């Protein structure tokens, strides 16, 4: 039998009526001749509730017990989904992570997959079961403890199962009907994409698009798992949603496929750092050790006196999530106190946003940056930092201009046109 993986997020299984609605979508795929592995999230809000219970009980909690508590929501949903399918005369069985087993590393709260043996679930399919309902977000360590994969881990679970079982496709059901050229709440002309390449989706996800979790796209790209993003709340068929696939499956790509943004960014600048070999390591090593997620980096070289040392110095600018500014400041102050790095001043700007254009068509087209910068200049939007890759251009700008920038770039690259 061909096999399909279907994943339902928290809003898709938020109550019994929505679980029934999701079960009907599974029923339709079984009727088409598929064996189905269903991956479920916890009911909407349940994981946050569990996290609140843990933090209310123990501020310095044991990570193993944290995982035991916060993984419980998915177990409930899996059981309820299996019961609903059984009521619809579909042979179904629920599976917790340890029952599959989903083998992971022992990094509680952010575990990684090691492998997913097929034996147990294949045996149930051989017995005549049509659906395996698996609790997402969780696995089991070599020590026999429950682990969790981090927020958004159910998407990653679904892709991992699709890869392990050779599924024809992995359908991600959510509260939107696909991947759009940008956020429709900001640009009314935003258009749903029929197809998007893995690399483009990975960039959009990492740059702030919330449709798919970044790790799930990385895994899909690595194992060539075809993903489809579609709505739980609309009637769907084989042409619904957005297909995330290999670049070879897309006939012709636009130069730019989408505009992404991240509102909660901060720009930090170390003023008058010695310009010498190893200085970048001296800066970004302590930041990494402190768990600071550095993104854009710009180095400006100037000739000034550095204390009693007359020689080359530089200003080093980088961006971090705004909620990590205090952590970054502490890491730099401690590194300076320890003599690891010298600088005159650390300047933080917490009122910036990141706006990016993404498209695999940029590989073969020139002038994309010029068009982007001209569009921003026409709106009198000043660019603070620029970073590029083969298929992406990102800029930091004042946060108050973020929505204007998104709209201007969407219009500039005519993303409303198919």
Tokens 């194992």 sit on residue: 223
In this predicted structure, the answer to whether residue 299 has a pLDDT above a threshold of 90 is no
Separation of alpha carbons 357 and 375, rounded Å? 12
Average pLDDT estimate for 98-124:
95
Domain range annotation of the chain: 3-175
pLDDT at site 206: 81
Confidence of residue 306 (pLDDT cuts 50, 70, 90): very low
For residues 43 and 12, the answer to whether their CB atoms sit within 8 Å is no
Q: What is the DSSP letter of 57?
A: H
N residues, the chain:
418
In this predicted structure, the answer to whether residue 310 has a pLDDT above a threshold of 60 is no
Average pLDDT estimate for 103-111:
94
Q: 48-104, pLDDT tens digit by residue?
A: 999 999 999 998 899 999 999 999 999 999 999 999 999 999 999 999 999 999 999
Query: Buried (b) or exposed (e) across 177-193, using 16+ Cβ within 10 A?
Result: bbbbbbbeebbeebbbb
Q: 374-398, pLDDT tens digit by residue?
A: 999 999 999 999 998 889 999 999 9
pLDDT at site 251: 73
Separation of alpha carbons 183 and 224, rounded Å? 26
Strand partners, 266: 320
Average pLDDT estimate for 3-18:
96
Confidence of residue 127 (pLDDT cuts 50, 70, 90): very high
Confidence of residue 311 (pLDDT cuts 50, 70, 90): low
Both tokens of 294, joined, read: 């550095």
Q: What angle do CA 155, 160, 166 make, to 5 degrees?
A: 125
In this predicted structure, the answer to whether residue 137 has a pLDDT above a threshold of 90 is yes
What percentage of the chain has pLDDT greater than the value 70? 97
In this predicted structure, the answer to whether residue 226 has a pLDDT above a threshold of 90 is yes
pLDDT at site 252: 67
Q: What is the DSSP letter of 58?
A: -
For residues 288 and 239, the answer to whether their CB atoms sit within 8 Å is no
Confidence of residue 275 (pLDDT cuts 50, 70, 90): confident
Terminal alpha carbon distance of the chain:
36
Compute CA distances 285 → 42, 321, 341, whole Å: 37, 17, 11
| CATH 3.40.1160.10 is right for the domain spanning 3-175 | yes
Q: What angle do CA 256, 298, 395 make, to 5 degrees?
A: 30
Least confident of 210-214, 277-281, 299-303, 328-332: 299-303
Separation of alpha carbons 258 and 197, rounded Å? 11
Separation of alpha carbons 413 and 381, rounded Å? 17
Q: 78-87, pLDDT tens digit by residue?
A: 999 999 999 9
Average pLDDT estimate for 349-362:
93
Q: 164-205, pLDDT tens digit by residue?
A: 999 999 999 998 889 999 998 899 899 999 999 999 999 888
pLDDT at site 375: 96
């Amino acid at each position: 039998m061909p096999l399909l993986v279907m994943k339902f997020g928290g809003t898709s299984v938020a109550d019994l009526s929505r679980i029934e609605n999701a079960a009907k979508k599974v029923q339709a795929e079984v009727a088409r001749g598929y064996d189905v592995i269903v991956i479920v999230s916890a009911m909407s809000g349940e994981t946050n509730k569990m996290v609140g219970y843990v933090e209310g009980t123990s501020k310095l909690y044991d990570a193993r017990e944290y995982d035991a508590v916060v993984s419980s929501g998915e177990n409930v949903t899996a059981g309820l989904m299996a019961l609903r399918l059984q009521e619809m005369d579909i042979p179904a069985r629920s599976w917790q992570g340890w029952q599959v087993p989903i083998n992971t590393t022992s990094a509680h709260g952010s575990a990684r997959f090691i492998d997913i043996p097929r034996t147990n679930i294949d045996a149930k399919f051989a017995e005549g079961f049509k659906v395996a309902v698996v609790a997402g977000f969780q696995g089991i360590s070599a020590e026999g403890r429950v682990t969790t994969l981090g927020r958004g881990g159910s998407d990653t679970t679904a892709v991992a199962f699709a890869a392990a079982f050779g599924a024809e496709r992995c359908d991600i059901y959510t509260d939107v009907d696909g991947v759009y050229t940008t956020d429709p709440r900001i640009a009314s002309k935003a258009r749903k994409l029929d197809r998007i390449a893995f690399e483009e989706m990975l960039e959009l996800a990492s740059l702030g698009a919330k449709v798919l979790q970044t790790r799930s796209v990385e895994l899909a790209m690595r194992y060539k798992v075809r993903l489809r993003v579609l709505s739980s709340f609309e009637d769907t068929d084989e042409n619904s949603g957005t297909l995330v696939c290999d670049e070879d499956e897309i006939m012709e790509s636009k130069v730019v496929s989408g505009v992404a943004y991240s509102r909660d960014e901060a720009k930090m600048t170390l003023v008058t750092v010695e310009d010498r070999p190893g200085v970048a390591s001296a800066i970004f090593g302590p930041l990494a050790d402190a768990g600071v997620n550095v993104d854009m980096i710009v180095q400006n070289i100037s000739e000034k006196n550095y204390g009693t040392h007359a020689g080359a110095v530089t200003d080093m600018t980088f961006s971090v999530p705004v909620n990590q500014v205090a952590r970054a400041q502490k890491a730099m102050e401690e590194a300076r106190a320890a003599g690891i790095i010298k600088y005159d001043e650390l300047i933080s700007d917490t009122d910036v946003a990141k706006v990016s254009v993404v498209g695999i068509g940029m590989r073969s087209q020139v002038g994309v940056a010029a068009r982007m910068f001209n569009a921003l200049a026409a709106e009198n939007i000043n660019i603070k930092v620029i970073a590029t890759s083969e298929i992406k251009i990102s800029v930091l700008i004042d946060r108050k201009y973020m929505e204007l920038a998104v709209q201007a770039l969407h219009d500039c690259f005519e993303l409303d046109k198919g």
